[in-house]
Chains A and B, each alone.
Chain A
């Protein structure tokens, strides 16, 4: 068993923002998500947090743990010494719903505009037959929160939508390449990225949006879609 002090940013629209600390004892083989759930179940039923699968597939439990974007289900209790204080804050660059919950609509609207696919060709397993699997991106929004460009340009498509466009150009599944190129080549598309690489740091699901954006830029140049003048001036 390990005892942690969870210092959680509470509040929301119309409610004052303040940190509240909960002392909680949990098994050390578990994750921060279990600690938060235990706080909710045993100490404070008003605490708001998002979760579903607890194994990094639903993409719901992203927060900032000690300032860094992480999935709570992939943040082991064992990482923190007994008695440590762990600060939990909601993701940035999304409207705040309350406590650890943000409104993911801006990301989902972008994904909907791209008609982001969920299933892809499975290249990972041996055996020689064709198969499918789910795309790597779990739409958790960690990269959108960590990216300083998303923070300064609300129209920027953002790391994961751009990475998703790259996936579609790679494996089009019958999609119209031109409209995807238009989106990616827009002034708020691939050219807007400043290569800060925060997205790569925080992505919990092997996506590497930064590499995908580099790939997109080369793809666009090869197809004669240069950087728009508007983006060059910045």
Chain B
């Protein structure tokens, strides 16, 4: 008998889970209240992390990024800019991290190679000529909407159904087990139930609201970040600041544009994030530090989204108001132990590692269902995103 799984949320997480589960032989239905990738995923920085960003404060996350970066290059090369990245030291303090950074990269299996400053400036002539060190890494660039669509296109071709503009308003129960979702079609207001053997909560920063429908407490902390795009391709590769994660530490080139980000501040309601003007100013100033003249290019967009970060208490520690210390890792839960068998959640992580996150979720689901079909997402290449529509 084929088991039916409903996945709530079509961000990179839900999309990757749909791909993983269809390949394991489950029947999959994805429900998303808006457009594909319309929330956190859609507004992320588009950086296919090399892992180097996390080597100093979160080595397991760094290793995961490095492994899946290498895989995604093979699985969806046609929608990635693969020009690599540089970590540059802008001052003496940055420089003081260099040895520890290179050492940590080596330990976490993140390829990194220091290059002479002269060489870095030859490769990226617009970079600040006063940089004090440069390290080459294997960053890549994606557009998050198309990244997500590629997963969903492939899942659809393996039988998945994807319902956008369909919001989960409640869970359906069979006795003490979750046995489906009640949804509202936002196009016509119609409400109906979708029965399922299993329900996967991949609602990102809204995962707590889905959990609450089952009286399950989910410790997800929405932490927003702002990004600012300018209309000039100042650099060819991703430029990172050689320091622990900090505000405005990354420039991602993309099409004819450059996107600088990001910040980190907790928000209550991620439905609408009011971007403070001073953050826009701070991002442009950060861009200027990397690239003199950065802000002379025309403004090309301001965005913010909330990371769904895992946090025990959903409360912040005062010592870390920006939540920079909260792990960028992820967790998968089987809520049978919380009194809601049939409900699963997948929270945290990054778009870069969404395939890996989905693999772990698939293993947790297999364990619960007794199905033994192994994960196949490491081998099966993703279809072109246009296939989602045809």
Contacts and interface: CB of A to CB of B under 8 A. Distances in A.
26 contacts: A38-B274, A50-B38, A53-B43, A53-B145, A56-B257, A57-B46, A57-B257, A58-B143, A58-B144, A74-B300, A108-B388, A109-B390, A112-B389, A116-B386, A117-B78, A118-B78, A118-B79, A119-B78, A119-B80, A119-B81, A122-B83, A124-B233, A124-B256, A125-B253, A133-B81, A205-B255
A60 B35 contact: yes
B302 A48 contact: no
Interface string B38-71: 1001110010000000000000000000000000
Interface string B76-98: 00111111000000000000000
A51 interface: yes
A175 to B, nearest CB: 13
Contact of A54 (B253, B255, B301): B301
Given A38-B272, A46-B189, A125-B233, A131 B390 contact: no
Q: What secondary structure prevails in chain B residues at the interface with A?
A: loop
A42 B274 CA distance: 12
Interface stretch (B13-21, B121-129, B360-368): B121-129
A43 to B, nearest CB: 11
Interface string A22-42: 000001011100100110111
A118 B280 CA distance: 29
Interface residues of B, number: 61
B271 interface: yes
A133 B384 CA distance: 17
A101 B143 contact: no
B186 interface: yes
Given A55-B301, A119-B80, A108 B390 contact: yes
Nearest to B299: A76
A124 B253 CA distance: 11
A14 interface: yes
Contacts of B233: 122, 124-125, 133
A22 B388 CA distance: 34
Contact of B143 (A15, A31, A37, A134): A134
Nearest to A57: B143
B125 A127 contact: yes
Given A59-B145, A73-B303, A125-B236, 8 more contacts: A14-B188, A46-B189, A52-B43, A74-B301, A127-B125, A132-B82, A133-B236, A136-B255
Contacts, number: 173
Contacts of A73: 301, 303
Contacts of A125: 124, 233-236, 253
Q: Which of A12, A27, A74, A134 has the most B CB atoms < 10 Å from its CB?
A: A134
Contact of A206 (B126, B189, B256, B390): B256
Interface string B292-316: 0000000011110000000000000
